[in-house]
Amino acid sequence: MNVLITGGTGYIGSHTAVELIESGHNVVILDNLSNSEIAVLDRIKDITGTRPTFYEADLMDLNVTEAIFDSHAFDAVIHFAALKAVGESVEKPLAYYRNNLIGTLNLLQVMKNHNVNQFVFSSSATVYGNPATNPIFEDFPLRTTNPYGATKLMIEDALRDMHHTDPNFHMAILRYFNPVGAHQSGLIGEAPNGIPNNLMPYITKVATGELAQLNVFGSDYDTPDGTGVRDYIHVVDLAKGHLKALEKLQNEPGLVTYNLGTGIGYSVLDLVKTFEATTGIKIPYKLTGRRPGDIATCYANPDKARTELGWIAEYGIAEMCRDAWNWESRDTD
Q: 275 in the Ramachandran plot: left (φ > 0), alpha (ψ -120 to 50) or beta? A: alpha
Tell me the catalytic residues: 148
Angle at 114 between CA 83 and CA 59, to 5 degrees: 20
Burial class (CB in 10 A: 0-12, 13-18, 19+), 266: buried
Q: Give me the torsion for CA of 115, 156, 11, 302, rounded to 10°.
A: -110
**Gap between the Cα atoms of 211 and 303, Å rounded:** 38
Strand partners, 230: 266, 298
User: 46-67: buried (b, 16+ CB within 10 Å) or exposed (e) per residue?
Assistant: ebbeeebbbbebbbeebebbee
Q: Are 151 and 145 in contact (CB under 8 A)?
A: no
**Gap between the Cα atoms of 111 and 142, Å rounded:** 27
Closest Cα to residue 284, out of 217, 331, 216? Answer: 216
C-alpha gyration radius of the chain: 19
Contact partners, residue 288, CB within 8 Å, separation at least 6: 215, 216, 217, 218, 219
Closest Cα to residue 230, out of 280, 264, 253, 185? Answer: 264
**Gap between the Cα atoms of 260 and 140, Å rounded:** 15
Contact partners, residue 111, CB within 8 Å, separation at least 6: 69, 77, 117, 119
